[in-house]
């Protein structure tokens, strides 16, 4: 299922509306707090934070991959972050 969603995003077969942008932004802004747990470098975290300000449809597949990683990670215990990742995944599934 996750491969299908990523493919859907890569080909642009989704509705890039304000709800999806908001969900992406929330997940991306949380990356800084959990970059060590997610094994994300300072540079990658900075790229994600920059992406929040300039989010484009082509970036959604990257954010989705990050959300899937967050949702599946047993190391992340923050329920709010897990909820936000799940919301993003559901929004892409529904679009």
Position 33 scores a pLDDT of 85
- Do 92 and 22 meet the contact criterion of CB atoms below 8 Å apart? no
Tens of pLDDT along the chain (95 residues) come to 788 999 989 898 889 999 999 999 999 998 888 888 888 899 998 999 999 989 999 999 999 999 999 999 888 889 999 999 999 999 999 88
- Give the span between the Cα atoms of 7 and 13, in whole angstroms: 9
Instruction: Please tell me the total number of residues recorded for the chain in this structure.
Output: 95
Q: Can you give the pLDDT at residue 24?
A: 95
Which residue do the tokens 């934070």 mark?
49
């Amino acid at each position: 299922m996750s491969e299908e969603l990523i493919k859907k995003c890569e080909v642009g077969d989704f509705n890039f509306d304000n709800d999806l942008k908001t969900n992406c932004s929330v997940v991306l802004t949380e990356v800084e707090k959990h970059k060590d747990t997610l094994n994300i470098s300072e540079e990658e975290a900075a790229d994600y934070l920059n992406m929040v300000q300039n989010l484009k449809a082509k970036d959604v597949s990257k954010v989705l991959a990050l959300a899937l990683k967050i949702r599946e990670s047993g190391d992340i215990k923050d329920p709010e972050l897990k909820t936000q990742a799940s919301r993003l995944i559901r929004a892409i599934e529904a679009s």
